[in-house]
Amino acid sequence: MPKYGRGLNREIVGAVNRGVLAEPLTTEKIRTFAPSMGWNIPESYILVALANGTSSEHSLSYQKYFDALGDGKYKVKRQFRGANWV
């Protein structure tokens, strides 16, 4: 069971689709977003969430929601856009 809503990265995808978070996504934006949802997320988790949601080498069961843009910036993949992902 996820600790942060439907899971931190899934909640980030929903926030982008609702217009709550703007792209490019960064760890700083996640640090600001988390408390607005009432979550106290460990820094170590914040630092890897976006990267792990991008890396094909991270856990096979971990959904890959993001594309890396470089310099610590990410965007939501096209297939996770729209009303089904809010």
Range of the domain at 53: 8-85
- Domain for residue 32, yes or no? yes
Q: At what angle do helices 8-18 and 43-52 cross, to 10 degrees?
A: 70
Coil vs helix vs strand at 44: helix
| Alpha carbons 31 and 35: distance in angstroms, whole number | 7
User: The domain that contains 78 carries what CATH number?
Assistant: 1.10.238
- Domain for residue 70, yes or no? yes
Give pTM, 2 decimals: 0.91
- Domain for residue 1, yes or no? no
- Domain for residue 3, yes or no? no
Number of structural domains in the chain: 1
The pLDDT tens digits for 20-62 are 999 999 999 999 999 999 999 999 999 999 999 998 877 777 7
